[in-house]
Structure 1
Amino acid sequence: MSKYNRNNFLALGLIIGSLFFMGCPTPPEFPNTPAISFRDVSFEKRPIEAQPNVTEDVITITLGFEDGDGDLGLASSDIEQPYNQFFVPIDIEGFPIFIGDSDTLPPFNPLDYLVFPEDDTVIVGNARLSGDTIYIERNPRFYNIFIDMYYKPTNDSEFIKFDWEGPPYYQSFNGRFPILNTEDYERPLNGELSYELKSSGFSSVFRDSEVKIETYILDRAGNKSNVIQSDPIKLEVPE
């Protein structure tokens, strides 16, 4: 059984939207560690395709990027190590950690636990799991674009990080963009990426506060780009 298939579609449905790529046909030489810059950030309310009378909040960021060997992007088939979605900790007796085994475990949430249906039996370590819930550790290499959001509670306050991954939201906006180099990885690559963050609650959470998006990317080798922040925006629809 693929653990990725069991959980990935729900996770990606929440965290990843559309991504667009515009490349340069003959880029110059760049370092092999990717470098990014902010080109644009915008907000809109967009009708949901399946519910045209209902809108969702969409923040779109556009990044410029450069990478010396072009090893940017992950394919949908990249689900084995080092790109697996999560790890299953096993105790000294060969069993996974079940929910409730320790007071130090986080409360149940879709980011830190894996639920097995009762109509299926799966072997994990020395355990036969059916209808069980086990603790997992997320693998950051599963993603290649990482998102944090900062906001100003009041006009005269500093920007502070908003914790989407904590209660009550338990949601991550990290995601994947596809392989960008269509020939091979051993060539320089530059261009632009546009990445959409979608939610039904951005407007209600941040209201009239200023918001900034912080982001970085990883290449296939795990090299981390520089960390950048967007200009502040307010989540208002332009007139």
Structure 2
Amino acid sequence: MNYMLKYSLACVVLVLALASCRKEPNYPDEPQISFKRIEQVSHDNEGLQIDSVFLVIGFQDGDGNLGLSSDKQSSDYAPPFNVGSTFENNFKVKLLQQVPDPNNPGQFIFREYQFPVAGFDLSGRFPRISSDDREEPLEGDIRFGMEFTEEFFRPGEVIKFEVYIYDRETPVPHKSNVVESEPITLFTN
């Protein structure tokens, strides 16, 4: 029994010593993102085929000011995050559609998709990552979902996404780098 106690105490001291040496990561205040993966789930809703698509984006941020509240009474809806501003949505998504390359017959390129409704895009708000306003480095993943239907896209259509995010810095939010997803084919399941 003394043998176990003696080595258990040594293990506890070693763990505490190693934990106290751990340094906080040193990330820039501008968010940095990376494309992790894309998840696609196909389902049928009364004869209408729907693809739910989830983009998983990794992030690192030095001051931890990521995300916006969905409470319209909060300061997260005050300028520069007010309705109609460039920064209202902090998760920016550009949809790219595979099309024939006009300069190279038989080849394909990706072009920005033109939505049939003017002003529509897939961008949105992701919630606050940290529950307080402390400045601290943050790292993790954001999972952002969208739905596509056969009303606007044909089965077999190939698409991909360009993504960037904004933080809550005022008066002008910091913009992250831009990442691109891998292509997916719609309505194949």
TM-score (norm 2): 0.72
Which blocks of at least 5 consecutive residues in structure 1 are unaligned? Answer: 1-25, 87-138
Matched, 1:193 2:142: yes
- Residue by residue over 1:31-67, the C-alpha shift from the partner in whole angstroms, topping out at 9 and shown as x without a partner, is 000000011012222466xxx7765321110000000
Aligned to 1:64: 58
**How far 1:169 moved relative to its partner?**
5.9
Identify the residue that residue 32 of structure 1 maps to in structure 2. Answer: 29
Does the 8 Å CA contact 2:60/2:140 hold for their aligned counterparts?
A: yes
Q: State the distance in 2 between where 1:170 and 1:43 align.
A: 25
**Is the 1:153–1:209 contact (alpha carbons within 8 Å) kept by the matching residues of 2?**
no
Which residue number in structure 1 is paired with residue 79 of structure 2? 81
The question of whether the paired residues in 2 share the 8 Å contact of 1:147 and 1:216 is answered with yes
**Residue 201 of structure 1: how far off its partner (Å):** 3.8
2:163 paired with 1:163? no
CA distance in 2, matches of 1:224, 1:207: 34
- CA deviation digits over 1:61-106, x for unaligned, max 9? 00000000000000123222111112xxxxxxxxxxxxxxxxxxxx
The corresponding residue for 1:231 is 182
Residue 173 (str. 1) matches residue 171 (str. 2): no
Amino acid at match of 1:148: K
Runs of 4+ off more than 4 Å: 52-55
2:94 pairs with 1:148: yes
Looking at structure 2, the residues matched to 56 and 27 of structure 1 have their Cα atoms a distance apart, in angstroms, of 43
Among residues 41, 44, 65, which one is paired with 1:44 in the alignment? 41
Shift of 1:170: 4.5
Provide the rounded CA distance (Å) in 1 between the counterparts of 2:69 and 2:58.
21
Q: How many residues align?
A: 155
Structure 2 distance, partners of 1:188, 1:47, is 42
Secondary structure, aligned partner of 1:152: strand
2:153 counterpart SS class: helix
| Residue identity matched to 2:141 | E
> Could you say which residue in structure 2 is the equivalent of 1:182?
131
Q: Which secondary structure state, in structure 1, belongs to the residue aligned with residue 122 of structure 2?
A: coil
Structure 2: 5+ residue stretches without partners: 1-22, 101-105
Taking a change above 3 Å as real, the CA distance of residues 168 and 85 of structure 1, as seen in their structure-2 partners, is closer
Over alpha carbons, which structure has the higher Rg?
Answer: 2
Conserved 8 A contact 1:151-1:206: no
**1:140–1:170 Cα change, 3 Å:** closer
Query: How large is the RMSD of aligned CA atoms in angstroms?
Result: 2.4
Q: CA deviation at 1:161?
A: 0.8
- d(CA) in 1 for partners of 2:118, 2:42: 20
Residue identity in the other structure for 1:218: Y
CA distance in 2, matches of 1:210, 1:189: 34
Q: Tell me, what secondary structure is at the counterpart of 2:94?
A: strand
Secondary structure of 1:142's aligned partner: coil
How far 1:207 sits from its partner (Å)? 3.1
Q: Distance in 1 between matches of 2:160 and 2:154?
A: 11
